[in-house]
Amino acid sequence: MFFSKDLPSPTSFFTAYASMAGYMMMIRSMAHQLIPGPVQDFIYSSLHSLLFRSTSTTLTLTIDDDNMGMHNEIYQAAQTYLSTKISPEAARLRISKGHRDKHVNLYLSDGETVNDVYQNVELKWRFVTDRGDKKGDDDVRSEYFELSFDKKHKDLILNSYIPHVETKAKEIRDERRILMLHSLNSLRWESVILEHPSTFKTIAMEDELKRDVMEDLDRFIRRKDYYKKVGKAWKRGYLLYGPPGTGKSSLVAAMANYLKFDVYDLQLASVMRDSDLRRLLLATRNRSILVIEDIDCAVDFPNRLEQQQPGEGKNCGDSQAPLTLSGLLNFIDGLWSSCGDERIIIFTTNHKDRLDPALLRPGRMDMHIYMGHCTFQGFKTLASNYLGLNDTTMPHRLYTNIERLMDGEVITPAQVAEELMKSEDADVALEGLVNVLEKMRFKANELSPVLKKKESRLERDEMRARPDTEGSPRKNSKRIKKLVLFWT
Ligand SMILES: Nc1ncnc2c1ncn2[C@@H]1O[C@H](COP(=O)(O)OP(=O)(O)OP(=O)(O)O)[C@@H](O)[C@H]1O
């Protein structure tokens, strides 16, 4: 039991307190002078973690944009992912727009937070701008995200949530991506926005072939690690062949839209030398499709060699050497494909039989795709595109007629499209198509097999006697058609 007479008097209490505080101040200022700053920080942080470690259940990951001098892909992914999760209450946002962006992009600004939920786990993102010790010195500024969540979900977040953020970010980027068409102008790539409407949904092709092509593209995109493992460059080659107007260019555009890849339209007729080709190919970007159209007539390689001036090098390794098919193929298989990722090359031709065997040998083009005349299935796709006729509702009364007349040998999809565009009234447009089909079939039946053979031989001889050159009207009209096609 205490008696009030045992307690110190207020005067002696305050005297003891004052001298104690004095000692503390003295120790503190001595510690400041004697112990170096970093050691003090270490002591403070150790004490802090000792005192508070056991009480905190939150884990905070910091994600900055530095990965040993390279970009940190998680930071980039977080930035894109969070831009779609910004709350309407956010008070400060950053705004930017690239020259290829259609819309402005919004990003979190300093101190702004985003709450997210993943598999019932609550997460909190915060964007931090750290200006370092020197206030106002922009050079020492670092920016990073903080991701906080309950510690017990650490494995889920690292192994499942972060990959989820990366996948979502890729989808968002792909969706936002503006495709470009690069064409040659005076041996330089000139770029315009590629807004071609063709997709795998709108293209008239047999369903099975369409599925095969899409699966092949998907597999190619998925297999980055596989290509690395087997030591092959991550590239894929396609040869599209078939008569004019069967959709080869449309398929190129559909592939570009599907993959969100830019298109480089390499007009070989304007490239005369190996060195120019190398420079142009090395200037192409990843995630792109290189198209060489009409390869059978675009590159008259034997003629180029004949045109070679005396004294000009003949070796394809010589930068002044004229372009040769083997030079082109070797370069595409070698340096070009190994110095970039996700490259696709497409050759198109109306005459596969005229191609150099070097192009056709196994392993050169991974997939040969035949684009043929319009089948009834292809017609239904076009009727849906142009007239809005849906296959699942009651078929149009003329469908039976059209199916009988269209056997995949008489009319091209381009000709069908032309007929369907003549009227917005489905009855009128389809009646027009039936008339055209009947005329075509009549003409085809009229020609006896002997006559047909003779006609195709005559046509072939005529083509041989009139080789395509850069300035020929046929070539020019085709090129103009292509440009119009791409730019509309
Ligand atoms: N398979 C198809 N599916 C949808 N539309 C097609 C198809 N084929 C042709 N078309 C239509 O016809 C037009 C011309 O087709 P496209 O240029 O793609 O054919 P192509 O086979 O590349 O012809 P060419 O061999 O003359 O270059 C396209 O703009 C498109 O409207």
CATH for 180-300+324-370, among 3.40.50.300, 3.40.190.10, 2.70.98.10, 3.40.1410.10?
3.40.50.300
Between the CA of 417 and the centroid of ligand 1 the distance, in Å, is 9
- For residue range 54-92, what is the model confidence (pLDDT) as tens digits? 567 999 999 998 777 667 889 989 999 999 999 888 888
pLDDT at residue 117 in the model: 96
Cβ of 297 closer than 6 Å to ligand 1, yes or no, is: no
Between the CA of 250 and the centroid of ligand 1 the distance, in Å, is 5
- The single-letter DSSP state of residue 390 is -
Q: Is the pLDDT of residue 134 over 80?
A: no
| 239 in Cβ contact with 352 (< 8 Å) | yes
Cβ of 372 closer than 6 Å to ligand 1, yes or no, is: no
- The single-letter DSSP state of residue 111 is T
Cβ of 79 closer than 6 Å to ligand 1, yes or no, is: no
**Which residues does 375 contact at the CB level (< 8 Å), separation at least 6?**
204, 206, 406, 407, 408
The predicted model gives 161-167 an average pLDDT of 95
Cβ of 240 closer than 6 Å to ligand 1, yes or no, is: no
Cβ of 349 closer than 6 Å to ligand 1, yes or no, is: no
| 487 in Cβ contact with 192 (< 8 Å) | yes
3-state secondary structure of 116: strand
Tokens 């959709």 appear where?
Answer: 247
Of 133-147, 237-251, 270-284, the poorest mean pLDDT is in 133-147
ipTM here: 0.97
| 349 in Cβ contact with 239 (< 8 Å) | yes
Between the CA of 246 and the centroid of ligand 1 the distance, in Å, is 5
- Average predicted confidence (pLDDT) for the chain: 80
pLDDT at residue 20 in the model: 75
Percentage, residues of the chain above pLDDT 90 = 38
Tokens 């997460």 appear where?
Answer: 123
Between the CA of 35 and the centroid of ligand 1 the distance, in Å, is 79
Sequence ranges of the domains in the chain = 58-176, 180-300+324-370, 376-458
pLDDT at residue 205 in the model: 93
**Residue minimizing CA distance to atom 10 of ligand 1:** 414
Between the CA of 186 and the centroid of ligand 1 the distance, in Å, is 28
Reported for 303-311, long-range contacts at CB under 8 A and 24+ positions apart, including other chains, are: 303/467, 304/272
pLDDT at residue 487 in the model: 35
Cβ of 196 closer than 6 Å to ligand 1, yes or no, is: no
Alpha helices (H) in 406-472, listed in sequence order:
413-420, 426-446, 449-465
Cβ of 245 closer than 6 Å to ligand 1, yes or no, is: yes
pLDDT at residue 76 in the model: 86
Considering only CA atoms, which of 244, 315, 321 is closest in space to residue 275? Answer: 321
Cβ atoms within 10 A of the Cβ of 188, count?
Answer: 11
Cβ of 203 closer than 6 Å to ligand 1, yes or no, is: yes
Q: How far apart are CA 349 and CA 378, in angstroms?
A: 21
